[in-house]
Structure 1
Amino acid sequence: MKYLLKSGTVLLTSLFLAASPLSHAGNRSCKAASGGIRQEIAANPELAAGLFNPYPDHNIGIISDAPKGYRPFYISHYGRHGSRWLANDREYSNVTKPLERAAKAGKLTDKGRKLLERVMLAREQARGIEGCLSPLGTLQHRGIAERTFANYPDVFANRAEIDARSTMTVRCVMSMNAFCLRLKELNPDLEIGFEASDRNTAILAHVYGAANEVDPAYKDYCRNGEYLRRAHAIVREKMGSEDFLDSLFTDYVFKNKEEEMNFIFYLFYLVSDQKNVMPENRMWDIYTPDQLYWMTVAENFRGIAKFGGHQGCEKWTLAYAVPLLEDIIGRCDNAVAGNGRAADLRFGHDVVLMALVPLMCLDGYDKVPDDPEKLLAAWNLYDITPMAANMQMVFYRPVRKSDGEVLVKILLNEHEVSLPLKSHNGKYYSWNDVRKLLNDRTNKYKTQTERTK
């Protein structure tokens, strides 16, 4: 049990450190040392869950000491909502309907019948709360808030002013509440303002289209892009979809190839999500280690080629992240200028971080391989966008020199990351240098934003 340096306040993080599978956020070299991702997934199938992975509370990075004479004064944050149930009932029915149809026709194997029981249990448990934050999701954001408070007590001292905003999605609002309420428990004097609105969505999740017009060409790409054909080919040719389906069905039961592929992918999502909501309903045993590896390759590629910095989509996705990065830069400038704000907290979605991370050039993640296997090794979703994934920018100023250089460090999932800039004392950078880098990146993609409005 860890204690804050404040009488009577106890951090509860250790109570749920075992909730998540092993991850190596911010340390890709670990994968080579451990024999590669294929071996990692074989040893720990939970890693195959990708962006459905629970937050790796047990694998938090070491926080370095601030440069001598510097003190933190402001934090800019973006966080994904915490663990959740699948988004809607359709995501469950894409799995249950073919299985129920086959059961009625007597076309399920023993393995298929057992699977049907487990997926029906998952669907029933989710009924009426599809897409909602799970109890684990609440714990994740409380834990992140606790550690942030403990690591940067100067930021959250006295009556510090905090602005918290979220999209209109309920799981994001609840994540914001969990995070901020924990901060208030740790310091009741904090002054926290809350807002969830469409105007926030326009900035915090521009690509969602809920508050913006999204380029019809991007919508068509999402539905019919070449990336889908490549992902489906991996499933058919590498994962061995025919053998996989033969292990569940005694005869072909799908209406068409589209329904078949939807079943395969949505089953993978359902299986992946159980750790977030019903860890006792574990279903990884339906896959062989080889099938699980190739499903991970296919889904990782499909996600990043649709929402991340892949060459097929970056002209849209990184452009849609520009309003968020401009908001971050502007609010950081205001804090540096002395507006008195201690923290800006933002709560949104994984697809936004998938674009924001390469847009900001964090830890070399702006380099996105096209080959799906190489992509998994260099840019995997279980490292970068697990449930409750977050980016934090922590600002420091000299204690005794009011006009001294402001420094900033950036953390991804509570691991300090590097930038392609000259650093000070490890991974601390001049805000002037970081600001120029980020402005250059927004300017590069801003013309794309104008064309896609």
Structure 2
Amino acid sequence: MVSIKQITLSAIMTLLASGATAQTSFEEISADLNKAGGVYLAYPEVTGKLTPAPKGYTPFYISHYARHGSRYLLGEGDFKLTIGLLEDAEKAGCITPLGKDVLGRLRKVFIETEGRSGDLTPLGARQHKGIAERMARNFPEVFKGKKRVYARSTVVYRCAMSMAAFGDGLKGCCPQLDVKYEMNEKNMAYLNYHTDKSNKFTNGENGPWVEEYLKFEAEHVKPMRLVNSLFSDKEFIRCKVNPEKLVWAFYWIAVDMQDIETKESFYDIFTPQELFDLWQCVNYRFYIGNANPEMSKGLVMANAHTLVENILECADKAIEDNSIAADLRFGHDGNVIPLLALLQVENFDVAVRKPEDVYKHWSDFKATPMASNLQIVFFRNKANDIIVKFMHNEKEVHVAVPTDTWPYYKWNDVKQYYQKRLENLKKQVYK
């Protein structure tokens, strides 16, 4: 029986957490322009201490889902567009001194990025290795002895490489572990699940949100100042340059610099306001496509239902089989975001209607930076009472399940809550 005290305490904690993490401001992004990259934000430094388990409880199992680590841009089109235009302007004698400088930087960066589209970067591998090492260090009891770890990734190579780096980190700390790796289509049914119905809603050409978004984007993307800073001839700009395409190409190049090895920056060609406005557009698209936008009525968030079912099923097996230390899963930002929403981690299930309001309540870089992860750590005592805590990017977080011992929740309460939530959500969405 849940007490009024438990409900009240949980509600207060959730409200406090939402107030602390929901709002994103121009000042916040101006202070750290890497955040303007949204999902390109490199995995943030882990700070703070974890809350010790209640007396008598020992960790025995970890359920995990992670996005791949830092990667290169998905294609070379942005580099070819920017380098090609600046080279043409250089030949025509209508490039500015800043344009020449930027062209030199682009050529230097392209030496590293060419032929590596979408690949995990060395930083991405280091991120997952580090997360694994901290996991082993924070919860050594989980991996003690000859335990088994099941690691599964989507069929995208950067996810498999992230999985391998994570396994290297674990094995380096616990060489006796038996880590079993899988990358196949079979596991895609829960690692990267999307319904046709949700794909129709999120479609960037004719989804029900697109027309409103296009007007929002037109209000926020102002490319001419940047274009005029690089090219000195208006006729060249009129005949050769698509200002909107160019500013977006430079945006993606600029925000990915934090994820690669070549140390260059392109933030200087933007103003902080321009970066903030571009980020608002990107943030809205990620929210619409993956979170819990009001107009979707739970449809997009429901894509995580097979993943949550897998988490519950694997936990049941691990509770019965003491040889299972962890289930590790590796996928994408479009899987982490609906998982956070469905599990109601902090305020990530917030339902917002207007594009201009989204950033005030939901931020992509807070939900899923590179290598973002959700860990559910299981503890038990000698009486076999089981409690869990949720960690998002290795920080203890709140969920909507009532508790008076945060960050710890009774597993039976958690399981029953999510089973009921899944049942209600599927009735609502798939009726």
Q: d(CA) in 2 for partners of 1:371 and 1:106? A: 45
CA shift, 1:29, in A, is 2.2
- The two structures, once aligned, show a CA RMSD in angstroms of 2.8
The structure 2 residue matched to 1:264, chosen from 241, 247, 257, is 247
Indicate the residue corresponding to 2:204 in structure 1. Answer: 222
Please give the secondary structure, in 2, of the residue aligned with 1:304.
helix
The structure 2 residue matched to 1:46, chosen from 34, 42, 54, is 34
Q: d(CA) in 2 for partners of 1:99 and 1:306? A: 34
Please give the secondary structure, in 1, of the residue aligned with 2:317.
helix
> Where do residues 111-150 of structure 1 align in structure 2 (5 Å cutoff)?
111-150=98-137
Identical pairs, percent? 32
CA shift, 1:302, in A, is 1.7
Please give the secondary structure, in 2, of the residue aligned with 1:306.
helix
Residue 36 of structure 2 aligns with an amino acid whose one-letter code is A
The structure 1 residue matched to 2:315, chosen from 320, 326, 332, is 332
Q: Which runs of 4+ in 1 moved over 6 A?
A: 254-257
Indicate the residue corresponding to 2:14 in structure 1. Answer: none
**Gapped runs of 5+ residues in structure 1?**
1-25, 208-212
Superposed CA deviations along residues 305-344 of structure 1, whole A, max 9, x for unmatched, are 1222223446442222211111111111222233631100
Indicate the residue corresponding to 1:367 in structure 2. Answer: 350
Would the aligned equivalents of 1:88 and 1:130 in 2 still touch at CA under 8 Å? yes
Structure 1's 245 and 230: CA in aligned 2 closer, same or farther, altered over 3 A?
farther
Q: d(CA) in 2 for partners of 1:416 and 1:227? A: 34
Would the aligned equivalents of 2:22 and 2:363 in 1 still touch at CA under 8 Å? no
CA shift, 1:368, in A, is 3.4
Q: d(CA) in 1 for partners of 2:190 and 2:414? A: 21
Indicate the residue corresponding to 1:185 in structure 2. Answer: 172
Structure 1's 177 and 305: CA in aligned 2 closer, same or farther, altered over 3 A?
same
Number of residue pairs matched by the alignment: 413
Structure 1's 230 and 299: CA in aligned 2 closer, same or farther, altered over 3 A?
farther
More divergent stretch after superposition (276-285 vs 439-448): 439-448
Residue 333 of structure 1 aligns with an amino acid whose one-letter code is D
Indicate the residue corresponding to 1:29 in structure 2. Answer: 20
Query: Structure 1 residue 393 and structure 2 residue 380: aligned?
Result: no
Higher normalized contact order (CA 8 Å, seq sep 6+, divided by chain length): 2
Q: d(CA) in 2 for partners of 1:310 and 1:72? A: 36
Q: d(CA) in 1 for partners of 2:229 and 2:354? A: 29
Residue 384 of structure 1 aligns with an amino acid whose one-letter code is A
Q: d(CA) in 2 for partners of 1:297 and 1:97? A: 28
Query: Structure 1 residue 350 and structure 2 residue 337: aligned?
Result: no
Please give the secondary structure, in 2, of the residue aligned with 1:85.
coil
Would the aligned equivalents of 2:198 and 2:299 in 1 still touch at CA under 8 Å? no
Q: d(CA) in 1 for partners of 2:297 and 2:123? A: 32
Q: d(CA) in 2 for partners of 1:170 and 1:379? A: 29
Q: TM-score, normalised by structure 2?
A: 0.87
Structure 1's 262 and 330: CA in aligned 2 closer, same or farther, altered over 3 A?
farther
The structure 1 residue matched to 2:360, chosen from 377, 380, 389, is 377
Superposed CA deviations along residues 324-378 of structure 1, whole A, max 9, x for unmatched, are 1111111112222336311000011111111111111001211133344542233
CA shift, 1:103, in A, is 4.7
CA shift, 1:239, in A, is 4.6
Q: d(CA) in 1 for partners of 2:239 and 2:369? A: 33
Q: d(CA) in 2 for partners of 1:254 and 1:356? A: 46
Please give the secondary structure, in 1, of the residue aligned with 2:360.
helix
More divergent stretch after superposition (74-83 vs 213-222): 213-222
Query: Structure 1 residue 204 and structure 2 residue 187: aligned?
Result: no
Q: d(CA) in 2 for partners of 1:253 and 1:217? A: 37
Query: Structure 1 residue 308 and structure 2 residue 291: aligned?
Result: yes
**Gapped runs of 5+ residues in structure 2?**
1-16
Superposed CA deviations along residues 2-27 of structure 1, whole A, max 9, x for unmatched, are xxxxxxxxxxxxxxxxxxxxxxxx78
CA shift, 1:99, in A, is 4.3
Indicate the residue corresponding to 1:294 in structure 2. Answer: 277
Q: TM-score, normalised by structure 1?
A: 0.83
Q: d(CA) in 1 for partners of 2:198 and 2:56? A: 52
Superposed CA deviations along residues 365-402 of structure 1, whole A, max 9, x for unmatched, are 1113334454223321222211100000001111x213
CA shift, 1:255, in A, is 8.2
Would the aligned equivalents of 1:80 and 1:350 in 2 still touch at CA under 8 Å? yes
Indicate the residue corresponding to 1:418 in structure 2. Answer: 398
Indicate the residue corresponding to 1:22 in structure 2. Answer: none
Residue 43 of structure 1 aligns with an amino acid whose one-letter code is A
Would the aligned equivalents of 2:22 and 2:362 in 1 still touch at CA under 8 Å? no
Would the aligned equivalents of 1:86 and 1:92 in 2 still touch at CA under 8 Å? no
More divergent stretch after superposition (220-229 vs 158-167): 220-229
Indicate the residue corresponding to 1:431 in structure 2. Answer: 411
Residue 417 of structure 1 aligns with an amino acid whose one-letter code is V
CA shift, 1:114, in A, is 2.8
The structure 2 residue matched to 1:440, chosen from 396, 420, 424, is 420
Q: d(CA) in 2 for partners of 1:230 and 1:105? A: 39
Q: d(CA) in 1 for partners of 2:421 and 2:360? A: 25
Would the aligned equivalents of 2:201 and 2:208 in 1 still touch at CA under 8 Å? no
